[in-house]
Structures are given as C-alpha cells and as structure tokens.
Structure 1
C-alpha cells in the first residue's frame, strides 16, 4: 500500500516493512535475531527455523525493492552472540552492496566491533532523513521539527471478523506526533493500539495491508 505522509510517498509492505522511494531506503524494526536461540539455550523449546524464516522474508524484500540502504530501527539482535547471529553473518554477505544501518534499541547490546565485523553502521539515538527521524522508542508528546518513526512496542490492532470474532494483526501506526512500525520478527507479541481522531492505522493481514 502506498500512502503520503508529511509530503513524502511511503510504501507499507505486507512483510512488515516500510520503503521510502525518494531515498531508496527499506526500513524494518524489531528483527530480534538471536531471540529463538537465546530461548533454546535457556531450555525453552522454540523452533530453530524462526531466524531462518525471518531472513528469507528479508531476502525477498531486498530483492523486491533493491534498496541502497536497509535501516533496522532498533532491536536487530535480541541478546548476545549466538548461532542465529552467526547465521546472519553468513547471510549478510549475499547483500554486500546494500548499506546496513542500525538505530540501536534496548536489546542491541553487542560491542560496536561486533557490528563492524558484520558491516553494520551504528546510529544512536536516531537516524534522520527529513522530514522523518527514525528512533527506536519515540518520545511521547513530542512536537519535534522532524516526524519520528519508531518501533519497540510491536503495535497491533483488533478487527472484528465476519463471525463476530476478534482478529488481531500487526499494524503500522501514524499518529499526530509520531509513527510506529510493526515488529518484523514473527516471534513477538502484539501491543494493541487505539488511535485518536485523525490518526491512521494500517493492519498487516496475511494477504495485504489495509487501513482500518
């Protein structure tokens, strides 16, 4: 789905990604690579294919949009170095021509030398491209010159189905003061968003992005 925000064209992709054609930039948030391996190490039975699936989805997005830059808007890696991150390091080599930027989130705890080895540029606390500023956890009640685009909360929205059941989907939120991207990883919960007047919600359904 293509929308206009602050005079700029944005593409909301059903794979929980945002594309800015003007900047040839693909943005995702909350990739949480390493989360499944971290849980398995702690003895929790979590499928080993979660990270592989998320990287396959990301590969398709990079092939689809062919961006110059991939921006991860926080929580790229869930914890310390583990097997999922080793797998990412190998995967990264397929896209050596794409610039990877990371706006650090609360789970991004690796050393800067670790990111450098994976050819990832670090930005703290934000990365700005007027009229937007990407930041992992948007400040509340802000009236900043640039419109913040955040992540962190894993936004979701509930929709009533035809059988009057409540269906919950990840969503893009465009509020008065800031926007929130859906969590890219499928291994996350959802925090329900309740929009105010003149705010926009776009649900990520299995087939397409729809405004609700």
Structure 2
C-alpha cells in the first residue's frame, strides 16, 4: 500500500492528509477517519445482494497499515463505524481490534451507529455524541452555522467530478476544507461519492493511489 501525505495547518495544528482516506494528527498521535461502515457487506449479502466478502478485510488491512506507519496511539472515528445490526462483520472487527495493545478508540456516534453499549464496551470503544480536543470539534454530520469553532466531520462521503477530453469523466474521493470545517472522505471503499461542494469557499484535496491534488 502506498501512503502519500499532504500537510496542512489549521488553527496552528499540523494535519497530514493521506491518500488512504484518513488524517494523521501528529501532536495527538491520532488517526482521524469516518464512515467505515462495518457490517455493510454482510448486511447486503443477507438480503441477497452479491458483494465481495473481502471488502471489509481490505479496509481493515489499510487501517492497520496506517496505524503501524504513523505509530498511532488513538483512533478518532467521526461516525458510522458500523452500518447495520450485529452480523459476521462485527466478529471480524472484534478479532482485528484484539491485535493492538493500548490503542485508544473514540467513536463520535453517527446515524448508523446503533450498536449496544455492551458491544462498545466489549470492543473497548468510547462513544461520544461529539468530542472537543482543542482546537477541533469532532461531529458526524457537517454544520453550516459553525461561526466560532472549527469542526471535523464525515457523513456525506465527499468527492469531486473531474472531466477529461470529450465525455471522459472520473469521480474521486476528497477532503473538503473551508474556514470553519473539514469534511472527511468515507474510509470504506464500499461507499458512494457526493460530488456537490458544501459551500462556495470549499477547497478540495482529492487523491489517487499515488498523489494528492488541491482543487
């Protein structure tokens, strides 16, 4: 896996955007991500929709490599860690978590996170409705009325539509950054893309397997 970074500074804090759909925050030794949607593939298969069984394993392998690469001590997951009811994917995640010692996991509860407190405790996950770690507020759904605090969120799975010659078009995931907020791309590869910018002053950092581009 190729890890490419783009360093930005917000409120005097250095953040490293990666082409692997997550941000590394050096001062907190934290990896920030959103919308992993564990349980989605098993949920689809349960309802007769054929999707590959290895999607979750690939997502978790990417996450493991990011944790190892940056020597991460905590995960800040900005919502939708889970997607559906308890199913076989939850057991896969439980096994995956067990390989890490002293990894602190915080989940800002998203609209899909309906798992029991008992399961969260079993997995060692601290659940919050929102989280403030100076100077950032972490919330799941973006806000358009945040005048004083800088928010980091997910939920909308942002992307960009790039037009080439003729009718050639390609959609790519991106980070959307404004003066007041940063919206993360969905970490899972098994998600759609919303190519509508949330405001006129948005800066998009889109990426491929080998590069990050500022648009």
Sort the TM-score into its range (normalised by shorter chain): over 0.9
Question: Whole-Å Cα distance in 2 between the matches of residues 205 and 149 of structure 1?
Answer: 22
- Mind listing any 5+ residue stretches in structure 1 that lack a counterpart? none
| 8 Å Cα contact 1:195/1:201 also seen in 2 | no
1:19 aligned counterpart, secondary structure: strand
| 8 Å Cα contact 2:149/2:180 also seen in 1 | no
Does residue 1:133 correspond to 2:137, yes or no? yes
Does residue 1:67 correspond to 2:72, yes or no? yes
**Which of the numbers 189, 194, 197 marks the counterpart of 1:191?**
194
How much does 1:140 deviate?
2.1
Q: TM-score scaled to structure 1, two decimals?
A: 0.94
How much does 1:200 deviate?
1.2
How much does 1:53 deviate?
0.6
Does residue 1:101 correspond to 2:106, yes or no? yes
> Equivalent residue for 1:210?
213
> Equivalent residue for 2:49?
44
2:79 aligned counterpart, secondary structure: coil
Aligned length: 210
1:188 aligned counterpart, secondary structure: coil
Question: Whole-Å Cα distance in 1 between the matches of residues 163 and 66 of structure 2?
Answer: 30
| 8 Å Cα contact 1:137/1:151 also seen in 2 | yes
1:39-188 matches, within 5 Å, as: 39-124=44-129, 126-143=130-147, 145-161=148-164, 165-188=168-191
Q: TM-score scaled to structure 2, two decimals?
A: 0.93
| 8 Å Cα contact 1:130/1:146 also seen in 2 | no
1:172 aligned counterpart, secondary structure: strand
Distance 1:166 1:186, change over 3 A: same
Distance 1:197 1:80, change over 3 A: closer
How much does 1:141 deviate?
2.3
| 8 Å Cα contact 2:41/2:51 also seen in 1 | yes
How much does 1:198 deviate?
4.2
- What RMSD over aligned residues (CA atoms) do the two structures have, in Å? 1.4
- Mind listing any 5+ residue stretches in structure 2 that lack a counterpart? 1-5
